[in-house]
Amino acid sequence: MAEVSADLYVEVLRYYAQQMSLLDAQDIEAYVETFTEQGVTHHVHRGQKLEGRAAMLAHARQALPRYRGVVVRHWNDNYLMNEADDGSITVAYGSLVTLTEAEGIVRFESTYAVTDVLVRVDGRLRARSRTIVRDQPAAG
Amino acid sequence: MAEVSADLYVEVLRYYAQQMSLLDAQDIEAYVETFTEQGVTHHVHRGQKLEGRAAMLAHARQALPRYRGVVVRHWNDNYLMNEADDGSITVAYGSLVTLTEAEGIVRFESTYAVTDVLVRVDGRLRARSRTIVRDQPAAG
Amino acid sequence: MAEVSADLYVEVLRYYAQQMSLLDAQDIEAYVETFTEQGVTHHVHRGQKLEGRAAMLAHARQALPRYRGVVVRHWNDNYLMNEADDGSITVAYGSLVTLTEAEGIVRFESTYAVTDVLVRVDGRLRARSRTIVRDQPAAG
């Protein structure tokens, strides 16, 4: 594993700016396009694995009503990036999710540790996998 | 519209770091200098348009007492940037505003969608316009 | 003082991504390694100065129990960077600290103004000093 170049670091920041904007706009068709066709999302804390864009899309459509009445935003920070010999990039970061209600009232939906593997398809970065772990204090 | 270069992307990130630091320090004279002389801010959710630095300054002076007793900070994320043929750069991002009271108590003043148009004046980036929309859940 | 290059700006962003990840993972041995051997942290709001890695480590070990039962995360923004003639880099930024409890409940531990001085040791950036001021509204 090697550190990515400054140019690639910025390209990855832009990938997330784009992807998170689509997610927060609930443009789920465009959002799943930021994954590879066979891309996988794994919500570890609820033991849920979605394999392929079609499965992600079906799940997202089912989840949308949960977010009626709020505007969702993802705030990510501290992106760690490493490039493997095959060119794939592992990106680990923290994510804070806000839910803004009418009148500007802000609620918070946990913080998360996310680890993605990005690959280049036809010149553009896409996520091959995403692993999401809700922050959970150690027992004791 | 084209994607900006990595170097320009970083320059724009620094523009915002500088501008938000001035805003949060309530150094409003220096803050309005980060706009063009005729720069416009449009607070869509309250139907307010301020045209030119003098109007921005007058408004900011009037608004300052609202922030007595708190420290304001802006936390922006997910900067999307596109460069037009004339060299102007449209930047869209999310903004979360914190208000920290005495004893470290943190309150939140909504989340916002902001869209700016930046231009270069004498070699430095300045905002020609800023459009701010307070996040508001869709009716229904 | 001069602005840093785009490449150095990104290198500093990565330094913080790495350092904050170590801090939030409570890997305090690796965290103090991101400072110089004689590095100093100054918590201005509680009048506490820790000089050298050994002192930082002793303090961190003593503070860990305070964070039992929560996951801590640091969210930084608006990094201002300036390079001095001797190559040291002064970095000023805002920091928001979240404490996530069981069941994804998020609490907030103030916002802070942080100013660091980074130097290069054996090719890698390390902090020579960190000055932390808890945000405190002006009296009146």
Residue range B43-78, pLDDT digits in tens: 999 899 999 999 999 999 998 888 889 999 999 999
ipTM: 0.95
Band of pLDDT at residue C67, cut at 50, 70 and 90? confident
User: Is residue A6 predicted with pLDDT exceeding 70?
Assistant: yes
- C3 contacts B71? CB cut-off 8 A: no
Q: Which member of C11, C20, C106 has the closest CB to residue A111?
A: C106
* Mean pLDDT of the residues in chain A: 95
User: Is residue C25 predicted with pLDDT exceeding 60?
Assistant: yes
Band of pLDDT at residue C34, cut at 50, 70 and 90? very high
Residue A66, pLDDT score: 85
Residue B65, pLDDT score: 87
Residue C52, pLDDT score: 98
Mean pLDDT, residues C111-133 taken together = 98
* Mean pLDDT of the residues in chain C: 95
A66–chain B nearest CA distance, Å: 13
Band of pLDDT at residue C135, cut at 50, 70 and 90? very high
Instruction: Collect all residues of chain B within an 8 Å Cβ-Cβ radius of residue A70.
Output: 137
Number of CB pairs < 8 Å for B and C? 68
Mean pLDDT, residues C77-100 taken together = 97
**Best mutation target, C3, C16, C93, C135, to test chain B (most B CBs within 10 A):** C135
Tens of pLDDT, residue by residue over A51-80, are 999 999 999 999 888 888 999 999 999 999
Residue B64, pLDDT score: 86
In angstroms, what CA-CA distances link B62 with A47, B18, B21, B55, C67? 52, 23, 20, 11, 41
Give the count of alpha carbons within 13 A of C117, CB side only. 14
C53–chain B nearest CA distance, Å: 27
The three-state DSSP-derived secondary structure of chain B is CECCCHHHHHHHHHHHHHHHHHHHCCCHHHHHHCEEEEEEEEEHHHCEEEECHHHHHHHHHHHHHHHCCCEEEEEEEEEEEEECCCCCEEEEEEEEEEEECHHHCEEEEEEEEEEEEEEEECCEEEEEEEEEEECCCCCC
A89–chain C nearest CA distance, Å: 15
The owner of tokens 């864009």 is A53
User: Is residue A3 predicted with pLDDT exceeding 80?
Assistant: yes
- A24 contacts B140? CB cut-off 8 A: no
Mean pLDDT, residues A28-52 taken together = 96
CA atoms of C38 and C129, how far apart (whole Å): 9
As beta bridge partners, residue B80 has B92
Number of CB pairs < 8 Å for A and B? 68
Nearest CA in chain A to C103: A136
Which residue segments constitute the domains of chain B, with CATH numbers given?
6-134 (3.10.450.50)
As beta bridge partners, residue B48 has B43
Residues in chain B, pLDDT under 50: none
C60–chain A nearest CA distance, Å: 18
C106–chain A nearest CA distance, Å: 6
CA atoms of A82 and B34, how far apart (whole Å): 36
Instruction: Collect all residues of chain B within an 8 Å Cβ-Cβ radius of residue C136.
Output: 71, 102
User: Is residue A140 predicted with pLDDT exceeding 80?
Assistant: no
Residue C140, pLDDT score: 54
Instruction: Collect all residues of chain B within an 8 Å Cβ-Cβ radius of residue A20.
Output: 77-78
Instruction: Collect all residues of chain B within an 8 Å Cβ-Cβ radius of residue A64.
Output: none
Q: Which member of C10, C78, C92 has the closest CB to residue B10?
A: C10
